[in-house]
């Protein structure tokens, strides 16, 4: 075995000789062969020329290139490496990393050399290096490859390094911006999604997932048809228009059926997504859930209608009151003239040639007195209706008292059970009434007769609707529930009848709208109920329903009197 130290000295001497040869070639002192390589050129010259070209190639590469022996001694390096270490190749050859960099960094370099040798293949590392002369610090991507001779013996480790500082910083900046955009995308209140040109969801944010009623991962990667089976064609028509025209489509009002079955209203803007060549590859959509806005608009429209109805009721009441008063007065006068034994009545009967007793007997026999009394009672009821209409047309505070709502509901049920018209059509006693009352509910300031009127109207409507359910074999049932929600008292009237669709729900409180047949109803019951609750009591009256799922009416009344 040759002496290792001696071998290294010999190797350094050989490298010095090679370097001197290169300097001679560069200075022109040595004759160069200008002829191209061919088989006639001597082998020695060809090998020398090849070595020269290889040397020039290595030194000209802009990346750092070096070669170390198995013990870490530098055998070769290029100009870029010289700039890094701040030394010439002659000053670097035969030395180790420890001669140029701090101990910790030298050990780090050496450990990476050993990893490449142990792996027997190229290994890629990222190393922070500092230029010695100008103090520039950069991140370098280094490939270290074990080198072997023809006999398979290890020559050393070849290193190639490239400065990736700018690329790394650009990547980190891109990652930062991407993270920021992802955070904004996922958490912005607006609903955002984008699809490809095949109608598949590529990405949705949290707001979109909440609107749809699914998890983000349940939507991304799925087609519109999988997410909205019944509405896919409608949605894709707008997407296809954007993809085909390449133009945005703004202000699309859509309805979406969420996973829970509720209908949501959405205002959507759809924009084309283009690739670097300008081709449309998908659709980006921004949407806002306007369900509550639509509901408030409908409430405002309904309130305006109710205000008009209130004015109509007041006008009708005044118009009816005058002739009704005359009729009532006339009936009273007729009753007095036909029943009282006054001197005037007796004299008039005698002048007519008959006794007053005979006239009374005749009228009694013909039931005239009963008819007159019936007319008077009917007039009295009409007068009460007029008074109710006048009260209905304005917010009456004089009749507002604190009422036990639970007791009021029990009384309303009792009145419905004894109502003649109800009993003619169905037996209210066959309807199961379930009570779920909050015994701690405080008294509610309201006009008891008006709230009673509203509850009875809801009970009548529920009972009439459930005639259909009874025919279908379902036992009719009404749930009455009271509870407190903050500063409001909540009354729920829920049935298990046939329910109603969305279109019917939107019109249910409109004046003269009815789902009953001709002669089955005036269409004013729920309108009046709505007006009583909203206008006269400052509360709310809402309905939720679905075909086959019954109807649920919710009354909310403030626990403090409304001014």
Q: Which of 352, 371, 392 is the last residue of a domain?
A: 392
Among the listed ranges 112-116, 118-122, 298-302, 377-381, which one has the minimum average pLDDT value?
298-302
Better pLDDT: 223 or 154: 154
Is the per-residue pLDDT at 407 higher than 60?
A: yes
Better pLDDT: 149 or 514: 149
- Determine how β-strand 154-163 pairs with β-strand 137-148: antiparallel
pLDDT band (50, 70, 90) for residue 388: low
**Per-chain mean pLDDT for the chain:** 78
**Residue 181 Cα distances to 185, 189, 257, 415, angstroms:** 6, 14, 29, 63
Domain CATH code at residue 432: 3.30.565.10
Among the listed ranges 85-94, 153-162, 497-506, which one has the minimum average pLDDT value?
497-506
Give Cα 277 distance to the centre of its chain: 33
pLDDT at 33: 39
Same domain, 144 and 20: yes
- 301 lies in which domain range? 294-392
Please classify residue 420 by burial: count the beta carbons closer than 10 Å to its beta carbon, then call 0-12 exposed, 13-18 middle and 19+ buried: exposed
Is the per-residue pLDDT at 515 higher than 80?
A: no
Per residue in 16-66, pLDDT tens? Answer: 555 555 555 445 444 443 444 444 444 445 666 776 777 778 888 888 899
Better pLDDT: 520 or 384: 384
Is the per-residue pLDDT at 392 higher than 60?
A: no
Same domain, 418 and 516: yes
Is the per-residue pLDDT at 523 higher than 90?
A: no
Domain CATH code at residue 269: 3.30.450.20
- Determine how β-strand 488-495 pairs with β-strand 551-558: antiparallel
Same domain, 147 and 13: yes
pLDDT band (50, 70, 90) for residue 310: low
Same domain, 95 and 75: yes
Query: Residue 410 falls within a domain, yes or no?
Result: yes
pLDDT at 6: 44
Tell me the mean pLDDT in the region 79-93.
87
DSSP 150: T
Same domain, 24 and 139: yes
219 vs 271: CA distance, rounded Å: 20
Per residue in 55-77, pLDDT tens? Answer: 778 888 888 899 999 999 999 99
- Residue 14's closest CA among 62, 57, 96, 69? 69
Query: Residue 176 falls within a domain, yes or no?
Result: no
Number of structural domains (the chain) is: 4
pLDDT band (50, 70, 90) for residue 11: low
DSSP 223: B
pLDDT at 491: 94
pLDDT at 1: 38
pLDDT band (50, 70, 90) for residue 401: confident
Among the listed ranges 37-51, 160-174, 263-277, which one has the minimum average pLDDT value?
37-51
pLDDT at 422: 45
């Amino acid at each position: 075995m040759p002496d290792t130290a001696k071998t290294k000295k010999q190797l350094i001497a050989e490298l010095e000789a090679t370097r001197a040869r290169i300097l001679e070639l560069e200075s022109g002192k040595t004759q160069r062969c200008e002829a191209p390589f061919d088989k006639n050129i001597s082998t020695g010259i060809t090998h020398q020329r090849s070595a020269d070209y290889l040397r020039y190639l290595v030194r000209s590469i802009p990346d750092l290139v070096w070669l170390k022996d198995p013990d870490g001694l530098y055998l070769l390096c290029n100009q870029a490496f010289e700039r890094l270490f701040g030394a010439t190749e002659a000053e670097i050859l035969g030395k180790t990393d420890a001669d140029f960099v701090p101990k910790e960094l030298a050990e780090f370099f050496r450990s990476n050399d050993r990893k490449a040798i142990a792996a027997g293949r190229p290994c890629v590392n990222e190393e922070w290096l500092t230029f010695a002369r100008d103090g520039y610090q950069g991140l370098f991507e280094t490939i270290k490859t074990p080198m072997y001779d023809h006999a398979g013996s290890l020559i050393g480790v070849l290193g190639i390094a490239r400065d990736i500082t700018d690329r790394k910083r650009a990547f980190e900046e891109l990652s930062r911006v991407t993270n920021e955009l992802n955070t904004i995308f996922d958490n912005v209140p607006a609903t955002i999604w984008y699809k490809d040109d095949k109608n598949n969801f590529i990405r949705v944010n949290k707001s979109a997932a909440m609107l749809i009623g699914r998890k983000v991962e349940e939507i991304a990667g799925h087609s519109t048809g999988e997410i909205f089976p019944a509405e896919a064609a409608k949605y894709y028509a707008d997407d296809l228009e954007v993809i085909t025209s390449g133009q945005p489509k703004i202000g699309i009002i859509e309805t979406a059926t969420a996973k829970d079955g509720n209908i949501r209203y959405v205002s959507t803007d759809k924009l084309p997504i283009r690739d670097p060549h300008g081709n449309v590859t998908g659709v980006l959509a921004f949407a806002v859930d306007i369900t509550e806005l639509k509901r408030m608009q409908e409430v405002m429209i309904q309130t305006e209608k109710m205000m008009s109805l209130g004015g109509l009721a007041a006008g009708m009441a005044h118009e009816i009151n005058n002739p009704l008063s005359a009729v009532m007065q006339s009936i009273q006068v007729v009753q007095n003239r036909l029943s009282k034994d006054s001197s005037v009545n007796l004299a008039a009967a005698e002048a007519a040639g008959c006794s007053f007793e005979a006239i009374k007997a005749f009228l009694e026999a013909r039931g005239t007195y009963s008819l007159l009394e019936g007319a008077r009672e009917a007039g009295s009821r009409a007068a009460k209706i007029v008074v109710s209409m006048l009260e209905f047309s304005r917010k009456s505070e004089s009749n507002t008292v604190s009422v036990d709502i639970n007791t009021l509901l029990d009384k309303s049920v009792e009145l419905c059970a004894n109502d003649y018209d109800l009993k003619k059509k169905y037996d209210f006693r066959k309807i199961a009434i379930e009570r779920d009352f909050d015994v701690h509910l405080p008294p509610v300031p309201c006009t008891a007769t008006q709230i009673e009127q509203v509850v009875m109207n809801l009970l009548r409507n529920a009972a009439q609707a459930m005639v259909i359910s009874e025919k279908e074999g379902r036992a009719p049932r009404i749930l009455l529930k009271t509870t407190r929600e903050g500063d409001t008292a909540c009354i729920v009237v829920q049935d298990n009848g046939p329910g109603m669709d969305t279109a019917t729900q939107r019109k249910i409180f409109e004046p003269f709208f009815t789902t009953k047949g001709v002669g089955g109803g005036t269409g004013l019951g729920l309108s009046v109920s709505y007006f009583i609750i909203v206008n006269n009591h400052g509360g709310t009256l809402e309905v939720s329903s679905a075909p086959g799922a019954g109807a649920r009416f919710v009354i909310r009344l403030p626990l403090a009197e409304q001014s």
